[in-house]
Chains A and B, each alone.
Chain A
Amino acid sequence: MYIYEHPILGKINKSPKVTIYINGRPHEGYLGEPVASALWAAGVRAYKLTKRFHEPRGPFCFIGRCTDCEVEIDGIPRVKACVTPVKEGMSIRVPDL
C-alpha cells in the first residue's frame, strides 16, 4: 500500500507510473523506485524461498546488504530487489504461495 498523503512529506511525489509483471500478472509501479518497494506495495511478502528448507524471506535492510530480498527479474535470478530500479514492462518472479 502506497502512502499517498503524509503529514510531513505531503502528497506522494513519485515518478510516472509504469506496468510491471509479478508472476505474469500486471501491477502498477513507479518508474525508478526499487523493485522491493513496488512488490511490497503490491502485497508480496515472500520474495524468495531458501534453497534447503524452502523458508520464505522478505526484505530486511533495504540498503542492499542482507540479500533477503533477492528475486528473479527478466529471467536473471537472485537480483537484489531493494537496489534495482523499476522499469516499464519488467517481469518479476516471486514464490507463488
Chain B
Amino acid sequence: MSYTCEERDLVVIGAGPAGLCAALEAVSHKCDPLVLDENHRGGGQLLKQVHKFFGSHHHGAGKRGFQIGEELVEKCEEKQVEIRLNSLAAAFFQDGSILVRDPKKIYLLKSKATIIATGAVEKPLAFPGWTLPGVMGAGGAQTLMNVHRVLPGRRIAMVGSGNVGLIVAYQLVQAGASIACIIEVDDKVKGYQVHRDKLRKLGIKILLRHRVVRAEGDDCVRAVLVEDMQTGRVFRYKVDGICLAVGMSPLVELPLMRGCELEYNLRLGGWVVRHDENMRTSCPNVYVAGDVSGVEEASIAMEEGRLAGISACVDLGLIAKGKAQNKRKEILERLRELRAISGKEVGEDQRSSEERNLTV
C-alpha cells in the first residue's frame, strides 16, 4: 500500500507555546512552516491556564495563559501559517518522513527540517486505589474545569505542592470546589511563594512530610488516607477527587523513533531529548522545543521555540549566521532570566557529567 507524500521545508509537530513560537519565528524568515496538532484547537496546554503569567512583556507577563495561547494562534493566522488540526503525527521514520493521521486519511510528509514540540504528559503516582475513577492528573482536572467547564469534584485532595499543585488547587476553589488538603512528602512547599500565599489566604492546609496511604471507594473515590510521616498517625479525608501533581514526563516517542539521542535528567522530567543550546538534536535537521526537551514553564517553551525556529532557518539557508547569532543572544539572555526566576537554572554547564553520561 502506498500513501500520498507531500513535501515541505519545515514541519512543526505540536501547536502549543513552543511549536507556535517556532512557526512564527520561521515565518518571519520567509519560511513556510506547516504545524501539526492532534487536538481540535491550537494553543496546547496554555488554553487551560487561567492564572496570570509573570516574566517580561516578551512572555506575555500579566496576561492569562489562555489569552497568550489565543494570541499566538491569531498571530499565526495573520501570518498565514498553516496549522493542521486533528492531525496526529503517528510516526517519525529514520528516513525523516512523518506519518500523519487525520479523521479522513493517513498520509506521509517529507520535510527538510522538523521541529518536535510534543510537550509532556502527567506522571501518575501509584498507591492502593490510585486507579479509582476520581483520581486524576491535576492538569487533567484543569482541562476539565477550565476548558470544558465541568467540575472535577466537590471536595478534592491535591497531591504535590509544586506550582501545578498550588495553581490547580486555587483554580479548583475558583471553579466552586473545596480543597480537603494539599499533601507534600517534602518538608517544604515546592511551588512559588505567591501561589502559596493565595492558598493560605483561603485557609487551605498544606500537609508537609505527609504521604498518601491509599484511596478508598468502590466505583469511585470516596476518601483518602494520609499519613503524617513523622508521627505515623493516619488521617482520613472524605473526598470525591484526588488530583496528582507529581511531575510530568516529556513525550519523547517521536524523537526516539527518529533516532534522536535522549539523556536522563531527573529535574527536567526524566528522559529528555538531548539537544544543544540552539535546540538541535543529535539528528541532522531535527530540533526540539518546549517540554519534550525538558519540562519547564510555558514562557521558557516559547523562547525555546524561537531558538528552534532560528536554527531550522539557518540550516535551511534562510538566515545568515551573523544575524541569527544576534537574535539568539537576546533569546538566551531572556531564557537565563526566566530560569533564574523559576529557581532552577538548568543550563548546559549545570548538567552533571553523570546525567550526561546516561544517554541511549
Interface residues of A (CB under 8 A from B): 1-4, 6-9, 12, 14, 32-34, 36-37, 40-41, 45-47, 55-66, 68, 83, 85, 97
Contact = CB atoms under 8 A, between A and B. Distances in A.
A60 B135 contact: yes
B324 interface: no
10 contacts: A2-B150, A3-B175, A4-B149, A9-B50, A37-B150, A40-B152, A41-B150, A58-B220, A61-B136, A83-B38
Nearest to A33: B148
Ordered nearest first, which 6 A-B pairs have the shortest CB separation? A58-B133, A37-B148, A45-B220, A62-B140, A45-B133, A62-B143
Contacts of A40: 144, 150, 152
Interface in B51-87: 64
B interface, size bucket: 20 to 34
B131 interface: yes
B136 A3 contact: no
A61 B133 contact: no
Contacts of B139: 61-63
B122 interface: yes
Contacts of B176: 3
A57 to B, nearest CB: 6
B174 interface: yes
B283 interface: no
B191 interface: no
Given A14-B149, A60-B136, A62-B139, A46 B219 contact: yes
Contacts of B38: 64, 83
B134 interface: yes
Interface string B249-288: 0000000000000000000000000000000000000000
B144 A62 contact: yes
A3 B133 contact: no
Contacts of B178: none
Contacts of B134: 45, 58
A1 to B, nearest CB: 5
Given A1-B151, A45-B133, A62-B143, A56 B219 contact: yes
